[in-house]
Structure 1
Amino acid sequence: MLYVPILKCKQGEKDALFMLENEVKDNIVPLLELTPDVIGRGNFSGISDFWKDRPFMFDVSFEHDDLLDDDYFKLLAKCDNHQVIPVIKLSDSNEKISKIFSTCKNGIALRLYIEEILDDDFESNYQDLLEKVELSRTSLIIDVQHVESSKINEVSFLINGAINLISNISEFQHVIFASNSFPDSLQKVDRYEITILNRLENKLFQKIKPHFNNNGVNVIYSDYAVNHWTYFEYKPGIQPSFNIRYTTEDYYVIYKGDTNKKGGLKIEKIQDACQQLISSQYYMGRDYSWGDNEIYEKAHSISNKPGNFTTWRAIATNHHITFIADLLSNQS
């Protein structure tokens, strides 16, 4: 396992995973978050239709931590018990943790947020949890959520301190470090042109790796792909703009067009956006991923289907996962 992409369990992300090349799939274990809208509709039916016979981590999004245990286990029961890796939290009940650990065949994952680790009560809560789980069958996820460029050194310093607070850290099956620098809104991004946003996840990961290495841990990279870590709820009246999100080692390359109401998804506007991207220094070629080929075909009128917002989330996510898996394999 080289990479743990944290993805909302929505159609665009599902399509992105389904269309990955097998060699990319072999190097990743996605963490799929069920969001309040998916849970509210009651239509979650597992993941075998897009991620079959492969391990994955299962969690509910940060905004739905109040989900009743009975409702949680009904959702978990829809997953393949031999592939699913349920994610637990420090705040979970003793009964929930014990039941998850005793019934799941592929181990579990413990997700710790940096604020929790630095909390005064962490040590006692953590020691209580260690009595309920077997570390050799537990993956540890340290999640710092959103990070800004001005805070990278501060976060690295805090992580070094946090590692020292996690006793037996080298005994976990895997240790995973997750961060996110994609903005929560593209409101400040100019329209009709390529815009570059700094991508900080890899830079931060390289800074914190020595801290883990010094503690005998080969840390695994994780991010939130081309999303902000929080759940965004679409409400009546909101007019999202068409956008392309394209990942490189140091940047998120963004093109923002019009809202759908103003024709943002018309094929001629999509073609212009794709042409701008493939003419830039950042485009990696049509053969790089399924997402890259979709961009190429729309730019060259091979495909006259503009797609919808879900399509473009799939395209962006597919390219992102392919790129990150490739980047990490070259760094290892």
Structure 2
Amino acid sequence: MAPDSQAALRLVLAGPPSNPERGGSLAGVGTPLGSFIRAKRDSTQPHALGLPDHGRRRSPGLRRLDLATRAGISVEYLTRIEQGRDRNPSPEVVDALADALCLDAAERNHLRYLAKITGDECTVQIRPVPPTRRVRPSALRTLHLLEPGVAMIGNRLGDVLAHTDAFRSVATGTGLLDAPHPNLNHYAFTDPRSRSFFVDWDDIADELAFDLWRAPSLENLEWLTAGLTPVAGEDFTRRLNRHVVPRRGVLRLNHPSGHHLRLHRETFELAEDAQQLVVFLPADDRTAEAVDHLHRRSHGGLRSIS
């Protein structure tokens, strides 16, 4: 991997530099865990936790003192965690921070996951390794049973590994499947056509960036991010480091044929392979008719992308 790509990846994994106005250090090396805690602290208003308003401040959200007091830890220790100088807080401290920030179940799980990978970064050298693109024959047979439904098998890096013919019909003309190895992140962040195809492009971009933290492995995450960061730019990096747990709603698509599609998404984990089977179900009769029309316009069968 090129040095520039390595530097870009390290910047992404480290998160944005600390804000000097918050007592941080621009020279400090951050962590995904510290980045998430800072982001939640900045976005939490004192009155939401029953705390007094201390008047106008340079930065929004909770003071470190407020959060440290609620979590039962020192301000100095919280500062070390946020700045990445302490990368191994105990499970008790992680849970205390989750309680202090009033995290919901999804945010709490994300915090615990970031604590784990932040600790792992200290003990192993992360090397870029591409994920497997192999899909088990039994998984492909399962996908085949869903024809003529819209479905795909992918992973949390955004790789589209196999799909039904109906999925290809919906994607035709959008550019999504143009690449030899289609990837939703590359498509969303580098192909201008994605911004018209995805009606709620900002929400989809947030979802894709967030799911990268659940990549099959840190080595796989480094492999994708090192190549994507230089071409996707600051918008991708910013979304990745926001750590905002997405609220996944109906997927709305503007098909180039003029059809407007609304699809529910059901995701089934293929845990053995760190892959997911995603089924897209029409959310209304109009969408069902449009999908059927698009499917009848095309022909073919189940496709696996190797």
The structure whose residues are more often helix, as a share, is: 2
- Which of the two has higher C-alpha Rg? 2
Tell whether the structures are fold-level matches, with TM greater than 0.5.
no
TM-score range, shorter chain: under 0.3
TM-score normalised to structure 1 length = 0.23
Q: Give the structure-2-normalised TM-score.
A: 0.24
